[in-house]
Structure 1
Amino acid sequence: MATVSVFQSMTLDGVMQGPGRPDEDTRGGFTAGGWARGYEDDVSMRFAAEGMASRGALLFGHRTYDDVLGAWTRAPQPNPFTDVLTRSPKFVVSRSVDSRLGYPNSTLLAGEATQTVAALREQVDGALTILGSGQLVRSLHAAGLIDQYILQIYPIVLGSGAQLFAESDRVDLTLERSITTTTGVIIAQYAVAR
């Protein structure tokens, strides 16, 4: 049975919308995109490289899949992320059976996320890592299908934007590991207490 991990960047007030670029996610009139820029350092890059070196599959919502793969396949080459993202098995959740997947090693999970991901967990072994995909994370969180959260918590308060855990039920977490970067980002790895 697979385990489901979430790898998410978020502000101190829980905003996870648009960390990478100003145009990344402007839904709801969000204008603070790109807020995570300038916080990269050797510590965060080593942590990211460690995660990318581990084997496993990626799990995306369809919108994030298109955005993340699109951005990294257009990024200057070589870089350490494009190869891993294109080479890794990818499962993409979408309500539409007509969704098109434009990148190699991609499998569509058409239907309701909680049902398709629950079935996938039973069918595969190893790790399934969700990158971004806030709506997918909230849905799986509510259904008890998340096993681990790896959160990069930035020393920023935005006051607006989509939050990772907006209106969520209580879930107890156990801290497994924490790292502080030289720029003040806290990387915290939590297991979901069962």
Structure 2
Amino acid sequence: MRSISATMFMTLDGVVQGFGRPDEDTRGGFTHGGWGGAYSDDVLAAEMGKGMVQSGAMLFGRRTWEDFIGVWAGATDGNPFSTHMNAARKYVVSSSLEDAAAWENSVLLRSVDDVAALDEDLSIIGSAALVRSLHAAGLIDRYTLVIHPLTLGTGARLFDGSAPVTEFELTSSVTTTKGVIVATYARITSR
């Protein structure tokens, strides 16, 4: 049975916008980009590395896919994450892209229904708008929330509006040396 996992880097107040770089996502006048950099450590790197050994393809929304192209596509820096990102099959969900040829091993999907029709395990990093849509459709099976010990007060949140009632159970948690909590939750399918 297919499984969809989402990894979301977020603040204590739920902001998921602009984790990596100051210019990553300035929509809505967001000025706090790059907030996650100060919280990296070996524990976090090891936890994120665990995701690389899971089977399946990657799934992206258009904005994240385009951003990741600039960072990862064609990278030959010897970083195992770069190698993984470029070798993995990548699906990008977009109604506006013409094709997915800009990044090797990428396949264009047009809708959440196209995602639902896939028959392989999928992992998502970021792509909050896509995650919201997949959650609303009941397609997210597991969340890994990488919760950083700060609040920003502004910015896009994981769930900016209503989300359907869905129960999850905590399956693992790790606290890093910088106070980041990596919490994994699995959807409860029946009681």
The alignment's TM-score, normalised by the length of structure 1, stands at 0.92
Find the counterpart in structure 1 of residue 175 from structure 2: 180
Q: Within 1, Cα distance between the matches of 2:16 and 2:93? A: 19
CA contact (8 A) 1:69 1:86 kept: no
Q: How far 1:80 moved relative to its partner? A: 2.1
Most deviating of 75-84 and 182-191: 75-84
The alignment's TM-score, normalised by the length of structure 2, stands at 0.93
Unpaired runs of 5+ residues, structure 1, are: none
CA contact (8 A) 2:74 2:86 kept: no
Unpaired runs of 5+ residues, structure 2, are: none
Q: How far 1:38 moved relative to its partner? A: 1.4
Q: Within 2, Cα distance between the matches of 1:73 and 1:96? A: 20
CA contact (8 A) 1:154 1:186 kept: yes
Most deviating of 31-40 and 46-55: 46-55
Q: Within 2, Cα distance between the matches of 1:162 and 1:92? A: 21
Report percent identity of matched pairs: 51
Query: Which 4+ stretches in 1 moved above 4 angstroms?
Result: none
Most deviating of 61-70 and 150-159: 61-70
Q: Within 2, Cα distance between the matches of 1:75 and 1:14? A: 31
Find the counterpart in structure 2 of residue 116 from structure 1: 114
Q: Within 2, Cα distance between the matches of 1:29 and 1:160? A: 9
Find the counterpart in structure 2 of residue 102 from structure 1: 102
CA contact (8 A) 1:173 1:191 kept: yes
Q: How far 1:2 moved relative to its partner? A: 1.5
Q: How far 1:145 moved relative to its partner? A: 0.7
- Number of aligned positions between the proteins: 188
- Name the Cα RMSD after superposition: 1.5
Q: How does 1:95-174 map to 2 (within 5 A)?
A: 95-96=95-96, 98-110=98-110, 112=111, 114-120=112-118, 124-125=119-120, 127-167=121-161, 168-174=163-169
Q: How far 1:13 moved relative to its partner? A: 0.5
